[in-house]
Amino acid sequence: MLKSSENTIEKQNVMQIIKKNKTEIASMNPNKNIEKLNLKLPEISTPGGSYVSVNVRANIAYIAIQFPILNEEYLYQGRLGNELNTEEGYKAMQLCALNVLAQVENKIGFNKIVGLNHIDAYFQSGADWDDSPIVVNGASDLFVKVLEGKGKHSRVIFGVEKLPRNFSVGLTASFTIETE
């Protein structure tokens, strides 16, 4: 008899935790979180080639590479460790993440986000520079601060020889979204 009572209490505790988590998820407000960070979503950029900036297949949204562009102004150009330092790289990657979020809000809507799945981060640097994880945290930190639990993700970092327009960094992302 005691065993059954303990199971009932345990189930009630689990149900309270689930209810609390659902309430927290429902109260997530990315726009308010962006405002709290004293940031603003930039204007969305248009693709520089024959592709779309957001491609939805079933319930996955793929966001094409976003660069550190602020309202059509190219920023953070050059090589990390040469023309740009690690802190500037962090800010550049943060701007790329803001551009990803602007694309998502404009083309899909924050209310449809189930979660951020994965990001691919690209950078170009001088030969002796090796702070890419710190720079990519500019995007990772922002996604978690803005999307909260839905912003947790996996990632990969690629050092490349050259990025278009001599941008120091670039970022792609995939999200699971609600389709109905």
List of domains in the chain: 29-177 (3.30.1330.40)
Residue range 154-168: mean pLDDT, rounded: 98
pLDDT band at 180 (very low <50, low <70, confident <90, very high): confident
pLDDT for the residue 179? 86
pTM of the complete model: 0.85
pLDDT band at 48 (very low <50, low <70, confident <90, very high): confident
* 112-125 confidence digits (pLDDT tens): 999 999 999 999 99
Residue range 47-68: mean pLDDT, rounded: 96
In order of 33, 80, 116, the CA distances from 72 in angstroms are 24, 22, 25
Q: Which two tokens stand for residue 149?
A: 């639990």
Percent helix, percent strand, percent coil in the chain, to nearest 5: 45, 25, 30
Q: Hey, what amino acid is at 67?
A: F
In order of 31, 68, 70, 107, 167, the CA distances from 73 in angstroms are 23, 9, 5, 21, 12
* 143-155 confidence digits (pLDDT tens): 999 999 999 999 9
Residue range 8-24: mean pLDDT, rounded: 57
3-state secondary structure 115-131: EEEEEEEEECECCCCCC
The answer on pLDDT for 22 being more than 60 is no
Contact 169, 122 (CB under 8 A): yes
Contact 62, 104 (CB under 8 A): no
